[in-house]
Amino acid sequence: MDGGAAELRETHRLTGHADRAWSLAWNPNPGPGAGPVLASCGGDKTVRIWKRAPDGVWDCSDVLDGVHERTVRSCAWSPDGKLLATASFDGTTAIWEYSGGDFECVATLEGHDNEVKSVSWSQSGSLLATCSRDKAVWIWEVQPGNEHECVAVLQGHTQDVKMVQWHPVLSVLVSVSYDNTIRVWADDGDDDWHCVQTLAEAGNGGHSSTVWSVSFNQKGDRMVTCSDDCTLKIWDTSADLSQPTTGEGHESWFHLSTLSGHHGRTIFSAHWSSEDVIASGAGDDAICLYAEEKSTMVEGPSYRLILKKEKAHDMDVNCVRWCPQDPRVLASASDDGTVKLWELWGNLLD
């Protein structure tokens, strides 16, 4: 912990997964009067829905099973909070709808050659992106009647694609891969998607090993990525890449800062809160939190460690996610099969 100013306190331990817990997703719009809703997925082929009761106790309200035949690797809520997408090692992505008090699988998206590693909804909810071990990224258009049409298959990565994430403001998609690169994709206006920028080690401050995760801040002008190289990279993403241009002098995203020396093993997950605190979870079983160092703005933005929670879990921390309704609540998922909820206390500026 840096300076004793902040503390991360475990408030709840959610158990039920019979295998490692891989990924987490907070519902961005749980409905009027509803408390926070969290989805978790794991190696036991299930998705669990967790809700906070009025007395503050967290319970598993629903178990989504019987659809995926292998590990559920990723889950993501639609922007309106009505649909949940789940991506599985069985090569499929399922779409779940909450109706009549129960979750129902209303669509199954097929096409990837093997394991689907990640799923993400666009900010409008009209597009869904998936990525796979088959090195491809697919973009699906959501159509009436729970139909989904594949409108683009994006080829460019040379290895397993670990994660896809839509920009929170622009119609831009980011993918990260085993090939150590971060690729930025945009539509040219004619429903033809292109890679408009590749952030790689050579020349622009990229990662030297597998990139696992990507997250944007709320405004979308900053992005954080994390890697097998045990670093987090902060990027300036303020340039509008949603309208691809050609020729010299076009705008681009660029590297701002590198955070290193805080995790001793692969950093699997990073997430940016609405209060501009970055959380990271890693193979050293720890969670770290970082904030921007405001006093150094003359030299350009830099970020500092504000605390490190050693042994946050008994095994690898696979995912960290800040709660949108309460930005000081953090959820984490681990190989130890548990999901933990944490509360951030203290003054982050001291």
- Cβ neighbors of 322 (< 8 A, separation 6 or more) are 26, 271, 272, 273, 274, 277, 279, 329, 330, 331
The C-alpha atoms of residue 307 and residue 260 are separated, in whole angstroms, by 14
Q: Which helix (H) or strand (E) holds 226?
A: strand 222-227
Domain ranges of the chain: 21-155
- At 299, is the pLDDT very low, low, confident or very high (cuts 50, 70, 90)? low
Rounded Cα distance, 270 and 230, in Å: 12
Amino acid 3: pLDDT: 43
How far apart CA 235 and CA 214 sit, in angstroms, is 10
Rounded distance between C-alpha atoms, residue 34 and residue 47, angstroms: 20
Q: Report if pTM > 0.85.
A: yes
Dump pLDDT digits (tens) for 173-190: 999 999 999 999 999 877
Residue 142 has pLDDT above 80, yes or no: yes
**Residue 135 pLDDT:** 95
Residue 296 pLDDT greater than 60, yes or no:
no
Residue 39, pLDDT > 90, answer: yes
Mean pLDDT over 61-82 rounds to 96
Query: What is the pLDDT averaged over residues 130-151?
Result: 95
Q: Which amino acid is at 8?
A: L
Tens of pLDDT, residues 158-167: 999 999 999 9
Q: Which is more confidently placed, 117 or 298? A: 117
Contact 340, 45 (CB under 8 A): no
Among 151, 175, 165, which residue's Cα sits nearest to residue 217? Answer: 165
Among residues of the chain, what percentage have pLDDT more than 90?
Answer: 84
327: its two tokens: 């930005």
CA gap 209, 177 in Å, rounded: 9
User: Which of 265, 168, 277 has its CA nearest to residue 226?
Assistant: 265
Q: If DSSP codes are grouped into helix, strand and coil, which group holds residue 145?
A: helix
- pLDDT at residue 105 tops 90: yes
Q: Which CATH number fits domain 21-155: 3.30.2000.20, 3.40.190.10, 3.40.50.970, 2.130.10.10?
A: 2.130.10.10
Number of CB atoms found within 10 A of residue 98's CB: 17
* Per-residue confidence band for 244, with pLDDT thresholds at 50, 70 and 90: low
CA distance 200 to 17: 36
| Residue 24 scores a pLDDT above 70 | yes
Look at 185 and 4; give whichever has higher pLDDT.
185
Where is average pLDDT lowest: 62-76, 278-292, 309-323, 335-349?
335-349
How large a percentage of the chain has pLDDT more than 70? 94
Q: Give me the chain's average pLDDT, please.
A: 92
Sign of CA dihedral 209, 214, 216, 220: positive
Q: What pLDDT, on the 0 to 100 scale, is given for residue 2?
A: 41
Q: In the chain, count of helices (H) and strands (E)?
A: 1, 28
297, 263 contact by CB (below 8 A) = no
The average pLDDT across 242-247 equals: 64
3-state secondary structure of 287: strand
